[in-house]
Amino acid sequence: MSPKAALLEEYTRVARALAAPARLSILEQLAQGECGVEALAKKTRLTFANCSQHLQHLRRAGLVTSRREGKAVIYQLSDSKTLELMDLLRIIAERNLAQVEHILRGLTGEDDAPEPIDRAELAARLAQGSVTVLDVRPWDEYAAGHIPGARNVTLAALDEILPSLAPDAEIVAYCRGPYCVYAHQAVAALRAQGLNARRLAGGLPEWRKDGRPVVEAER
């Protein structure tokens, strides 16, 4: 095999590792923070054995690394470039696949959904105290790390906090990152109530990757 053919074979190892929805779901979870196999299986609704098998594919492709902690094996993303690769997949799909646009439009419920706010602008608004930030991930992910000042609320509990939101407040929702749709759904629900809401470009992993502050919740 020629050197070029050998290189291409290794590059396709990475591509093959990404070619399964379950593996993208695992990577999305690991972007929130390191995690054991049992917790990953529960989060992604996979069996323990199936989750372990997918993790081995990702590990052989260099996308995740692992370490032992007692009897448990803890996994994490290999580095921030993995997160960038995940986001590039999203960008290419959104630009070139009509079905992706159709699905996202269905989530927002409107043709003229507002553009997401970028992370630098959100940081400036937070410093001014002029924005309400909602973290719409599950509690355990919020507790492990969230944007300072963000309130945690799941989609199911969104109606419960509506009375506490000022009618003229600027609201920004965020979730897990490239593949998460919670923020899209939260913004659609808030805008249906006449509130000024939009989502953050990216999610907690991208915010952290920028070197911006992240805090843990008191348990």
As annotated, the active-site residues are 175
Measured distance CA(27)–CA(179) in Å, rounded: 10
Query: How far from 10 is each of 5, 38, 61, 148, 163, CA to CA, in Å?
Result: 9, 29, 8, 41, 54
3-state secondary structure (DSSP) of residue 137? coil
3-state secondary structure (DSSP) of residue 7? helix
Between β-strands 35-36 and 151-152, what pairing exists: parallel, antiparallel or unpaired? unpaired
Measured distance CA(204)–CA(150) in Å, rounded: 11
Helix, strand, coil % over all residues of the chain, rounded to 5: 55, 15, 30
Using CB atoms within 10 A of its CB, is residue 62 exposed (0-12), middle (13-18) or buried (19+)?
Answer: middle
187 within 8 A of 108, measured Cβ to Cβ: yes
